[in-house]
Amino acid sequence: MKPHPPKLKVNVPVEVLAHFEGLSLPSHQTEHASGVDLSAAEEITLAAGERRLVPTGIKVAIPVGYEGQIRPRSGMALKSGVIIPNSPGTIDADYRGEIKVILWNLSNADYPIKKGDRIAQMVLVPVVQINWHPVESLDDTARGVGGFGHTGS
């Protein structure tokens, strides 16, 4: 059995807001989980068809060179029809506001969210910034300009 590579841990400053009271900081739910679960900091009911910004009660200072990606929890859409429409959402290193998650209820029934319900996950991801290099033309490839559906599937 091969040994696991060492875990990379990055310190992320977090500020808790008044409406976070009674909640625990987001944490990895298993030893090798990529993301931390974010919880709702307020009780709301998401009406059928409604989109809403749901507060988490925390602010973070993502380190330069990283982004926080907001992603859906795997079973939420399947079980309830509630999705995150702009997934993944991005928290830039220079953003200092409260983390809020856009939830959209695609079902025909209202969806109650209690304070403390896990509504999304956040993954810390390294960022590579683009440095454009203008050229007269691009190199040829086997795919060429083939776009959406070009392989027939």
In a domain, 113, yes or no: yes
pLDDT band for 102, please (50, 70, 90 cuts).
Answer: very high
Distances from the Cα of 85 to the Cα of 10, 18, 42, 80, 128, angstroms:
28, 27, 20, 14, 24
Q: What total of structural domains would you count in the chain?
A: 1
CA angle 53, 57, 59 (to 5 degrees): 100
Confidence of residue 144 (pLDDT cuts 50, 70, 90): confident
Q: What is the pLDDT of residue 6?
A: 75
In CATH, what number is assigned to the domain containing residue 111?
2.70.40.10
**How much is the mean pLDDT over the chain?**
93
The predicted model scores a pTM of 0.86
Helical H runs in the chain? 74-80
Residue 15 forms part of a structural domain? no
